[in-house]
Structure 1
Amino acid sequence: MDKALYIAMTGARATLQAQGTVAHNLANADSAGFKAALANTRPYRIDGGEHASRIATQHSDQGFDSRAGAQRVTGNPLDVSLRPDRWLAVQTADGGEAYTRAGNLSLTPNGQLVTAGGHPLLDQQGMPMVVPPHQALDVGHDGTVSIVPMGEGPETLAIVGRIRTVDAAPDRLQRGLDGLMRNAQPDLPLAQAPGDVMTTGALEGSNVDAAGALVQMIQLQRQFEMQVKLIQRGDDNAQAANSLLRLGG
């Protein structure tokens, strides 16, 4: 009986973790460039010497859905939509490098180019991207940032830097707790992507299927309720067995 209880308990725990993943996806259904997290469960054999007969259920992180989200034209020169397998390089809170496809960029009062989450974009040299005062700004399809300086004519258009945009297949990345992607193989740095890497004046939306996620949440809730009922039934059976043992004694 304790085996059934343990399997049901670990299954319920894994189901709760899966619900958390689905809830996180739903919360980001409108976040630009968000990639839905994938979760599953798998059997896990408990070590037990020569009698390792117990199998538990374990939550399994399956990475993320790499499909592109819907494209939306905004006309904003600081909105960029990335080509497949292209990622913007940003600076993390600890000074490291991470990656995102959230292309709704903005400028801080001191001219720093940042994502909607406030993470500074990096240039080709790995330094935070800073844009001098200007009266016009243009982001090229290759990530080149050009400006017309204050008080100057359009003929003075000057390049101030190029956004670091890396080429990374989904299996080269893993999501961190802050929602940003990291290089899954730090000993193999990701290279700058050549050629056209983005479209300006457009945004890639989240690839979360909100309706599908809601259905999945309902299924997980029913699964959790079934596992809890199994635990309760096991407890009832254990109490009945103890009563019979007391009567027999």
Structure 2
Amino acid sequence: MTGARATLQAQGTVAHNLANADTAGFKAALANARSFPVEGAGFASRIAAMHVDQGFDARVGAQRVTGNALDVSLRPDRWLAVQAADGGDAYTRAGNLSLTPNGQLLAGGGRPLLGEDGQPLAIPPHQAMEIGHDGTVSVIPLGEGPQTLAIVGRIRTVEAAPERLARGADGLMRNAQPQQPLAQAAGDALTTGALEASNVDAAGALVQMIQLQRQFEMQVKLIQRGDDNAQAANSLLRLGG
């Protein structure tokens, strides 16, 4: 029963990965099951299964050139800092940025992008905007010439190895060691005009889902067979009585 439950949970993880196969910057979630002994009276031979969240696949997804000035692709171990729904800091590699009518810069998924000062980035009215490889945002004000190009802010891009991050229920990453804040990435952190695709292997995920489905069916049949054996044993006991 515990094995069937763990298999069902793993299948949910694979389904979630498949649903995000086209989401920019998405990192496939990893899931597995491990056995653990059941404590209590009796022989120490009872083993149950438990679903284990193994984090995420940190491999960089395929790069796709878009030519869009608001599309950015991050270097390995670089993450965009965004404001989560609870007001705290979170991190994503979804580089399909967008600009709201009031000038707020949003990351993929619609979360406000943070600047170096930790506050949401607001872009003043402009006729042209450029994002540098170090995350600096420059604009040409309305009605002005190219010589008036000025830096209005810098996107907060942090450097974090996969083990420093944990995925939240909203799909955003959090610092797994809050007592050690993540530092601003030095040097070139991103490339403009390109997007990182999801690293989900759709074909492999489909195969994995089929395998999990067959495993679940086998585990359910074992439960049913155990129930049949128990009923047969009870019948024999009644006949013997």
TM-score by length of 2: 0.99
Moved more, 44-53 or 34-43: 44-53
What corresponds to 2:164 in structure 1? 172
Unaligned 5+ runs, structure 1 = 1-8
CA distance in 1, matches of 2:108, 2:163: 25
AA in 2 matched with 1:235? D
Q: Percent identity?
A: 81
Aligned equivalent of 2:13, options 13, 21, 29: 21
Aligned length: 241
Cα 1:50–1:187, aligned 2, differ >3 Å: closer, same or farther?
farther
Moved more, 51-60 or 111-120: 51-60
Could you tell me how far 1:117 is from its partner in structure 2? Answer: 1.3
Unaligned 5+ runs, structure 2 = none
What corresponds to 1:108 in structure 2? 100
What corresponds to 2:147 in structure 1? 155
CA distance in 1, matches of 2:158, 2:2: 40
AA in 2 matched with 1:21? T
Could you tell me how far 1:40 is from its partner in structure 2? Answer: 0.4
What SS is found at the alignment partner of 1:161?
strand
Runs of 4+ in structure 1 deviating by more than 6 angstroms, as ranges, are: none
- Deviation track 1:87-146 (CA, whole Å, cap 9, x = no partner) reads 000000110000000000000111000023110000001000000000000000000000
CA distance in 2, matches of 1:45, 1:161: 55
Aligned ranges 1:96-245 → 2 under 5 Å:
96-245=88-237
CA distance in 2, matches of 1:50, 1:42: 22
AA in 2 matched with 1:76? N
CA distance in 1, matches of 2:81, 2:136: 14
Aligned ranges 1:40-79 → 2 under 5 Å:
40-48=32-40, 51-79=43-71
Could you tell me how far 1:53 is from its partner in structure 2? Answer: 3.2
Could you tell me how far 1:50 is from its partner in structure 2? Answer: 7.5
CA distance in 2, matches of 1:163, 1:18: 36
AA in 2 matched with 1:170? P
What SS is found at the alignment partner of 1:16?
helix
What SS is found at the alignment partner of 1:191?
coil
Cα 1:240–1:49, aligned 2, differ >3 Å: closer, same or farther?
closer
What SS is found at the alignment partner of 2:199?
coil
CA distance in 2, matches of 1:159, 1:49: 69
Could you tell me how far 1:55 is from its partner in structure 2? Answer: 1.1
Aligned equivalent of 2:29, options 17, 37, 41: 37
AA in 2 matched with 1:87? W
